[in-house]
Amino acid sequence: MKILEGIKVTRRFGGLTALYNVDFCVNEGEIVGLIGPNGAGKTTLFNVITGAIPVTSGVIKFEGRNITGLGAHKICKLGIARTFQVPKPFPRMSVYENILAAATFGRDKSDKSSNLKQEIHQIMEKFGLTSKSETSASNLAVFEQRMLEIARALATKPKLLLLDEVMAGLNPKEATQAVKIIKELRDSGITIFMIEHNMRVIMGVSDRIIVLNQGMKIADGKPEEVSKDIKVIEAYLGEAYVGS
């Protein structure tokens, strides 16, 4: 079942076409990778999906409902959450307060919990942030900031989670830990759509890969298929990756 679908999604910024007639879908329960060179339109696609910016033309559907043009806050409350390339916590607020804010303002009114404090502590434990609960977000290490970014998204109780380069700045051990968490989130019933430049990670964790180049979709398939696609090799992966 398609949880997310885009039909001929186009986004222009003046004379620049960032996305052009992009058709895509994400099925419920999948981990779908989104790859491509810098400037390919990956983050722009996440921005139009989540209502951060409007599409120029095209349609975006979530669970069969047309969400094109809805504001970011409404889309979040429907069940789509995201992280950002550069973590955007409230820097002066504590880890606990950051997650509390997400849970308070990011959920639908019908989904308010009577055990919110307990939920937040469970989320902090899941992401290894319990000992940092009173620490200001600005004082966290890179990995901790990445985990807080995902924790805040999880606090909104999403059905679909969009992850934008969560591996950036992580060492191999931290990346392995992040992959474990992503798989656990999927196993808990959350569908994952993720942008990533770490090819070892994205090819290993994804059920399917979508490739953008110059704002257009050039491939969509299983990782082993995409990694051998000549258009993808020429535009992004390069011969060195194929021979590795």
Fill in the amino acid letter for 145. Answer: Q
Intervals of CATH 3.40.50.300 along the chain: 1-79+159-244
CA distance 127 to 125: 5
CATH superfamily of 1-79+159-244: P-loop containing nucleotide triphosphate hydrolases (3.40.50.300)
Q: What is the mean pLDDT of each run of 10 residues along the chain (244 residues)?
A: 98 97 98 96 98 98 97 96 92 96 85 81 96 96 96 97 95 95 97 95 96 97 95 83 54
What is the structure's pLDDT at 237? 83
What is the structure's pLDDT at 115? 86
In 3D space, the residue among 181, 187, 119 whose CA is nearest the CA of residue 149 turns out to be 181
What is the structure's pLDDT at 107? 84
What is the structure's pLDDT at 113? 65
Spatial CB neighbours of 60, under 8 Å, sequence gap ≥ 6:
4, 5, 6, 7, 9, 48, 49, 66, 67, 68
> The whole model's pTM is what?
0.92
What is the structure's pLDDT at 120? 95
